Amino acid sequence: MAHSSKIFCCFSFLFSTLSIIPLSHQLEQHPLDSLTPIEFIRVQAIVNQSHPTTTNDITFQYIGLNEPDKQALISWLQNHRTTPITAPPPRQAFVIARINHQTHELVVDLLYDNIVSDHIHHGFGYPLLTFEEQNGASQLVFNHAPFLAALNKRGLKVEEVICETFAIGWFGETKQNGRVVKVMCYYLDGTVNLYMRPIEAITVTVDLEAMKITHFRDRLVVPVPKAAGTDYRESEQKEPFGPELKGITVVQPDGPSFIIDGSRVRWANWDFHLSFDARVGPVVSLASIYDTEKQEFRRVMYRGFVSELFVPYMDLTEEWYYRTFFDAGEYGYGLCAVPLEPLRDCPANAVYMGAYVAAQNGMPIEMPNVFCIFERNAGDVMWRHTETMIPPDLITEVRPDMSLVVRMVSTVGNYDYINDWEFKQIGSIKVTVGLTGLLEVRGSKYTHKDQIDEEVYGTLLAENTLGAYHDHFITYHLDLDVDGKVIGRL
């Protein structure tokens, strides 16, 4: 097996050949729609023209919709229903690009094909990491003699080593560090579960701008946990197996009850807009619910998305202390979305949708099947009552509970986040994040808990394997505007 370059997350090696849809065939664009492939290409061209690549070193760290002003959009949507000729709010892209090693925040107008603003960011904080630079950084070790010597010292085969880039956090330094990552490596050799086989005690620091290793230290040799029993693939499991369950599936003989019209989703009494962003993943906008008595839609939420996933580790050792990941802001909750596995990630009645993000060169990348939408029939009851007090009949009225789920899975390294937006007929929106995947573990010299006489910042789970103490904090941006001023369905 060839040693792998680091792509911290996402299936970027599955890049599809891009098929550009002619504008004329597109449905009417909604002002909150994600950028289209053509728009990504235009944004890239406009930025490149304004900063010619012959004289500039340009990387696109983020391209997404520059969200229109809320009030302007609401006014337009309301007027648009009666006066469809009114111009929509300006269609703009927000771009974060590194141009000659500076972070530019640009707003690009897609009607006039020009740059509306170009601001250089001098403060703390760095843009999203691109796949390409993470890839580049984690490849460097394979040409770094001290690293190869460190592998040799441990008796590890270089072709079984996989490396990742880790954001370094911020600990109150007043001097800016520049764009720096650490590279951490894992070992395969008999398993695909690399996360269970960390190669500990080696620190590799990479300056992303120079794309060079600026610091290397091999502190001590810690045993790499064994491969046996770590492979999670069904095909690799051995007897004894647990009891097999008989088949079970959900059936909708007349098809689904939801309608997907471009980015608009309608189901039961719900209507909402769904888009996708490289940084935050799914964005639900303009969620409204139809009031059958008033015969009008009533606003519930203007815009909602996961704004950040903060994952700090509580380990003070030299190779772990800095691990305080912002999975959205550093790696991209949307960028790390993975293709959903039909019949497993989502039930048989699910419909799948793709999305686009920008590559480092600004060109669109198609991400197939990042969303699934399905009606959830969990066997729950929405409302019921049995009335025993009025003989001779027993009155039993039961309304089964159905809901609509929009799901995305984002795999940030070892962790898989299952992100659900669930719309219920009673008028509530339920947000859920399921956390699964593989536990982040630290290699250790210990093989039994009784040997441990120091703080190891974790729990011994198996020989040489500590489950590392950490938290997952998920924050949401929820702009609720229940019964906000509304004239009909937006």
Look up tokens 């120079």; give the residue: 210
133 lies in the binding site for a copy of itself (CB under 8 A): no
- Cα separation of 357 and 306, whole Å? 17
Task: Report whether 209 contacts 178 (CB < 8 A).
Answer: yes
Candidates 265, 208, 275; CA nearest to 57 is 208
- The interface with a copy of itself within residues 149-168 (CB under 8 A) comprises 162, 164
Q: Which is nearer to a copy of itself, 85 or 251 (CB)?
A: 251
Q: Is 187 a catalytic residue?
A: no
The sign of the dihedral angle between the CA atoms of 106, 336, 18, 351 is negative
- Site map (CB under 8 A) of a copy of itself, residues 438-467, x = contact: x-----------------------------
SS3 356: strand
Buried b (16+ CB within 10 A) or exposed e, 13-34: eeeeeeeeeeeeeeeeebbbbb
Least Å distance, CB 232 to a copy of itself, is 6
Among 87, 145, 220, 248, contact with a copy of itself (rule: CB under 8 A): 248
Instruction: For 315-330, give the DSSP string.
Output: --STTTTT-EEEIIII
Indicate whether 383 belongs to the interface with a copy of itself (CB under 8 A): yes
Q: Choose the binding region for a copy of itself from 46-54, 78-86, 187-195, 318-326 (rule: CB under 8 A).
A: 187-195
- Give the binding range for a copy of itself (CB under 8 A) out of 41-49, 70-78, 143-151, 244-252: 244-252
Residue 365's alpha-carbon distances to 185, 250, 442, in angstroms, are 27, 33, 34
How far apart are CB 20 and a copy of itself at their closest, in Å? 25
**Options 71-79, 106-114, 317-325, 333-341: segment touching a copy of itself (CB under 8 A):** 333-341
Minimum distance of a copy of itself from residue 231's CB (angstroms): 10
**29, 56, 75, 269: which one contacts a copy of itself (CB under 8 A)?**
269
Q: Which is nearer to a copy of itself, 61 or 165 (CB)?
A: 165
> CA 94 → CA 67, 98, 300, distances in Å?
8, 13, 27
| 133 three-state secondary structure | helix
Q: How far apart are CA 35 and CA 393, in angstroms?
A: 59
Catalytic residue, candidates 187, 322, 331, 415: 415
Q: How far is CA 468 from the centre of its chain?
A: 22
Among 402, 433, 452, 462, binds a copy of itself (CB under 8 A): 402
**From 52, 84, 155, 242, residue interacting with a copy of itself (rule: CB under 8 A):** 242
Span from 4-12, 82-90, 141-149, 474-482 in contact with a copy of itself (CB under 8 A):
4-12
Q: State yes or no: is 345 an active-site residue.
A: no
Q: Give the range of 36-44, 199-207, 326-334, 372-380 binding a copy of itself by CB under 8 A.
A: 372-380
Question: Of 71, 249, 453, 485, which lies in the binding site for a copy of itself, with binding defined by CB under 8 A?
Answer: 249
Neighbours of 333 (CB within 10 A): 28
* Cα–Cα distance measured from residue 86 to residue 235, given in angstroms and rounded to the nearest whole number: 58
Helix (H) or strand (E) holding 86: none
Residues 341-370 that bind a copy of itself (CB under 8 A): 341, 343-347, 349-350
Interaction between residue 380 and a copy of itself (CB under 8 A) = yes
Please check whether residue 411 is in contact with residue 420, taking contact to mean a CB–CB distance below 8 angstroms.
no
Q: Which of 315, 327, 345, 416 is catalytic?
A: 327
Tokens of 217: 């230290």
Catalytic residue ranges: 327, 415
